[in-house]
Structure 1
Amino acid sequence: MIKLIASDMDGTLLNASMQISEENIQAIKYAQSKGIEFMVATGRNRKEALPPLEEAGLDCAMITLNGAQVFDASGQSLFTVPIDREKTRSIMDLLKEHQIYFEISTSNGIYSESQTRRIENFAIHTAEAMPHLTHKMAIAMTAARLEFLPINYVGDFSELFLLEELEFLKIICFHPDGASVLAPITQVIDGYGDLVVTSSGQNNIEINHRNAQKGIAVAHVAKERGIDLSDVLTIGDNLNDLSMLQAAGVSFAMGNGELEVKEAAKYLTNTNIESGVGKAIMRAIAENL
């Protein structure tokens, strides 16, 4: 019997308008009425994840930054898994050497060196999700959306190392040429040790400590709740969801998910624009998966 549900957000819980559909909301609330806990497991930080949840009237625990930070429903931090500071510096040097745009998620929010490049790279992600948009429309939509997301801009990332209390939690890298440029970088980073490289889109990679993975975080939360992993349902669409799909007793891949994700999951649901999360939840409850 399902006792805990963990859902990814982008490409999963959120539709093309970056909102939670009414069908998804009602399914989540139905599960909660049955005593089933719902939480999100996202690559976003907490401040980025909150707005669509608040708009939907959903109050839940969060696994954020792919598992680097976990919060209870009240926003209390349960644990944090940072990247070593010197490894962070080394990764930064590598990315700058290859002229790859990146952002750093820290214990004090997200940092970027360039607003222009941030918009350009997120516009590519927007265009992937909404292929009917022209490039100009994707830029405009992205700029409007990012305007409301918290971000810190610095002249040089080296400034961050002057803040001794700052913890480095995730590095996300973007390049319009995708794997042809990012795959060789992934191979280098794999050799660093203590790090894991995943992805939430065709044009990015996400770097975390190897213990900061969604699957590890879901297992930790389940253990704290006294819930066996066989009674956990996870739902996702991309490579940074693989670990939690593999860990849970019941797992659904989104219809819009990557092939590797669909192969790893036990079940398949509809796409994110067809309220696939809500349909997966209702099926899991109805069929007692």
Structure 2
Amino acid sequence: MKDYTEDRDLAGIKLLAVDMDLTLLASDGSLPPHMTERIDALAEAGVLFCPASGRPAPTLQMMFPTHKDSIAFCADNGGWVIYQGRTAFRDLIRPELWHEVLDFAADDGHCAPVLCAFEQAYVLKRDQRHHEAIYKYYKDIRYVESFDEVDAEADKVTILFPDYDAEPRFASTYEPRFGKRLYVTNAGREWIDFMNLGVSKGSGVAHLCRELGIGLADAAAVGDTYNDIPMLSAVGHSFVVANAEKHMHAHADYLVPSNDDRGVATLIDAILAAKGR
């Protein structure tokens, strides 16, 4: 796979969309040092920074407090796009459809279904034992006896598989059952995400580019796993981190150092250097 230094048009990048877990964040969950300064430098160089994640927007904004009203966020795997503090796009799953997914998963004793309702997440009280794993991503959690109690607008359903068997369960059960009606994707080995057909990190980045008049050829993305594939496919500059599984090499043009070697920061520095910064 080609090294990121072989991209001869880094100076042409106008938007940088970056996955969070195991891409921008190190294995300990930390951001690269001096990210505040790097984001500021990108803005001065005419590059919009955009975290792109399955996380909801409020959680992402908490991670970038000094930039939450200046950068973009592609949240909920593209179901909710925010630019400069305002919603640029959001999507709604029909309630009868998210109820069907949640009820099916609730009958499975080996997972914890979560309804992602923009500002709030709904989880069954029986699954409070998984609070720590869910709270990592969803800070405002309402525990309910049954999803029948819930009347909310939602853009995503996610399911936690605490035994790290999300990939085989995706292939054997959830994608075959729901894949013709929803976009179903793995988010690592613990989670399966469900959005409307056509909603993905790729569509979220495309919505943002249209809003800002940026050509997708001038957008860049960095990722590591399945739910990053649509985003990598959509943009003109696609990168995966060295810690990504080998199958991801087929979905990007260039390789950057691993998350623990701060590959995204290295790429940002290369983009800034190419722009003479």
TM class by smaller structure: 0.7 to 0.9
Q: Is the 8 A contact 1:70 1:217 kept in 2?
A: yes
Matched residue type, 2:104: L
Matched residue type, 2:174: T
Q: 2:89 aligns with which of 79, 83, 90?
A: 79
Matched residue type, 1:150: D
Matched, 1:70 2:81: yes
Q: 2:238 aligns with which of 243, 247, 251?
A: 251
Matched residue type, 1:207: F
- Secondary structure at 1:153 match in 2: strand
In 2, Cα distance between equivalents of 1:256 and 1:95: 31
In 1, Cα distance between equivalents of 2:79 and 2:192: 15
What is the TM-score of this pair, normalised by structure 1?
0.81
Shift of 1:248: 0.5
What's 2:22 paired with?
A: 11
In 2, Cα distance between equivalents of 1:147 and 1:188: 27
Shift of 1:149: 2.4
In 2, Cα distance between equivalents of 1:279 and 1:33: 18
Segments of 5+ residues of structure 2 without an aligned counterpart are 1-11
In 2, Cα distance between equivalents of 1:213 and 1:227: 18
Shift of 1:67: 0.6
Pick closer, same or farther for the CA change 1:57–1:169 going to 2, 3 Å.
closer
Q: Is the 8 A contact 2:216 2:234 kept in 1?
A: yes
Deviates more, 1:18-27 or 1:262-271: 18-27
Shift of 1:148: 8.9
Pick closer, same or farther for the CA change 1:261–1:238 going to 2, 3 Å.
same
In 2, Cα distance between equivalents of 1:181 and 1:216: 25
Matched residue type, 2:234: A
In 2, Cα distance between equivalents of 1:214 and 1:182: 19
- Secondary structure at 1:272 match in 2: coil
Q: 1:44 aligns with which of 50, 55, 69?
A: 55
Matched residue type, 1:185: T
What's 1:230 paired with?
A: 217
Between Structure 1 and Structure 2, which shows a larger proportion of helix residues? 1
Segments of 5+ residues of structure 1 without an aligned counterpart are 123-141
In 1, Cα distance between equivalents of 2:113 and 2:253: 34
Pick closer, same or farther for the CA change 1:271–1:87 going to 2, 3 Å.
same
Pick closer, same or farther for the CA change 1:72–1:262 going to 2, 3 Å.
same
Pick closer, same or farther for the CA change 1:200–1:25 going to 2, 3 Å.
farther
What's 1:95 paired with?
A: 105
Pick closer, same or farther for the CA change 1:29–1:108 going to 2, 3 Å.
closer
What's 2:227 paired with?
A: 240
Q: 1:267 aligns with which of 254, 258, 265?
A: 254
Deviates more, 1:46-55 or 1:219-228: 46-55
Q: 1:183 aligns with which of 164, 171, 179?
A: 171
Q: 1:212 aligns with which of 172, 187, 199?
A: 199
Shift of 1:170: 1.0
Q: Is the 8 A contact 1:47 1:150 kept in 2?
A: no
Q: RMSD of aligned C-alpha atoms?
A: 2.3
Q: Percent identity?
A: 27
In 2, Cα distance between equivalents of 1:202 and 1:236: 15
What's 2:188 paired with?
A: 201
- Secondary structure at 2:238 match in 1: strand
Matched, 1:158 2:144: no
Q: Is the 8 A contact 1:104 1:168 kept in 2?
A: yes
Deviations 1:145-193 (A, max 9, x none): 7499222211211110xx2xx2121111122133333322223334442
Pick closer, same or farther for the CA change 1:87–1:54 going to 2, 3 Å.
same
- Secondary structure at 1:274 match in 2: coil
Pick closer, same or farther for the CA change 1:43–1:187 going to 2, 3 Å.
closer
